[in-house]
């Protein structure tokens, strides 16, 4: 569990790469500058941890590409103390970014193996989400709603209704929608019934899994 000067140097390069690709939010960049991404991955990938690429984690899932993490985090536009729900805890890397942005984080993972692993791992780096839950992201987390932000980190075949209804007025849902490739979609809640939709480029995520019966 070491974070060396070499890792920090590679991270600086990664941050410059993200800036060159168009990421602007200084708080998102500072958060990613701080987080030792290599510790969220299998040690066999350590040498590549600061490339702008997704890598396999357990249970056939992936840690998202840094650019994707930065892009989604920027779209959420969180303030200090914002309440945010993450669907797809995975390695916990995106969770750590949200925590560095000083949000109150609730996160749900659908694969038990990953849930267990990440629940033990995050506190070792002093990352403490309000809740890290094993469950089905299609349902959101009604008992903690409403949220300022909801971020989905798996490819969703459609926008699950509960996620829309669990947003505050003025809140934002950031969700990649599609099957083979996904369109990054931002839905802003304008009123009880109105949502404003913005679409960004194509991304590629592992699919959001249906609930097992």
User: Of 14, 55, 62, 140, which lies in the binding site for ligand SAH, with binding defined by CB under 6 A?
Assistant: 62
Rounded to whole angstroms, the Cα distance separating 43 from 47 reads: 8
Rounded to whole angstroms, the Cα distance separating 7 from 25 reads: 22
Binding flags for ligand SAH, 7-46, as an x/- string (CB under 6 A): ----------------------------------------
Consecutive H or E run containing 120 = helix 112-124
Q: Tell me if 66 contacts ligand SAH by CB under 6 A.
A: no
Q: C-beta of 211: minimal distance to ligand SAH in Å?
A: 7
Q: Which residues of 54-93 are buried (b: 16+ CB within 10 A; e: fewer)?
A: bbebeeebbbbbbbbbbbbbbbbbbeeebbbbbbbbbbbb
User: Of 67, 106, 127, 138, which lies in the binding site for ligand SAH, with binding defined by CB under 6 A?
Assistant: 138
User: Of 11, 37, 38, 110, which lies in the binding site for ligand SAH, with binding defined by CB under 6 A?
Assistant: 110
Q: Tell me if 84 contacts ligand SAH by CB under 6 A.
A: no
C-alpha angle 3-109-118 in degrees, rounded to nearest 5? 25
The residue count for binding ligand SAH (CB under 6 A) is 23
* 44 has catalytic annotation: no
CA atoms within a 13 Å half-sphere pointing along the CA-CB vector of 71: 23
29: its two tokens? 């960049």
Q: Which of 43, 64, 91, 191 is catalytic?
A: 64
User: Of 61, 73, 82, 185, which lies in the binding site for ligand SAH, with binding defined by CB under 6 A?
Assistant: 61
Q: Which residues of 161-175 are buried (b: 16+ CB within 10 A; e: fewer)?
A: eebbebbeeebbbbb
Shorter beta-carbon distance to ligand SAH: residue 183 or 194: 183
Q: Kindly list the residues in this chain that would bind ligand SAH in the complex (CB under 6 A).
A: 61-64, 87-88, 90-91, 93-94, 108-111, 114, 136-138, 153-154, 206, 208-209
Residues identified as active-site: 64
């Amino acid at each position: 569990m070491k974070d060396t000067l070499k890792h920090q140097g590679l991270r600086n390069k990664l941050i410059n790469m993200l800036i060159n690709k168009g990421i602007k939010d200084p708080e998102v960049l500072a958060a990613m500058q701080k987080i030792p991404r290599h510790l969220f991955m299998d040690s066999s990938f350590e040498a590549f941890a600061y490339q702008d690429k997704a890598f396999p984690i357990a249970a056939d899932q992936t840690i998202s590409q840094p650019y994707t993490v930065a892009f989604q985090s920027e779209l959420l536009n969180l303030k200090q103390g914002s309440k945010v729900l993450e669907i797809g805890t995975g390695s916990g890397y995106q969770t750590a970014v949200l925590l560095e942005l000083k949000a109150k984080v609730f996160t749900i993972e659908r694969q038990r193996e990953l849930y267990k692993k990440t629940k033990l791992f995050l506190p070792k780096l002093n990352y403490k989400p309000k809740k890290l839950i094993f469950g089905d992201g299609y349902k959101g987390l009604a008992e903690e709603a409403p949220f300022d932000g909801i971020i989905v980190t798996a490819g969703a075949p459609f926008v699950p209704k509960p996620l829309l209804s669990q947003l505050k007025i003025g809140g934002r849902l950031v969700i990649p929608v599609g099957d083979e490739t996904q369109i990054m979609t931002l839905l802003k809640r304008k009123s009880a019934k109105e949502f404003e939709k913005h679409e960004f480029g194509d991304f590629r995520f592992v699919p959001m899994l249906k609930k097992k019966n």
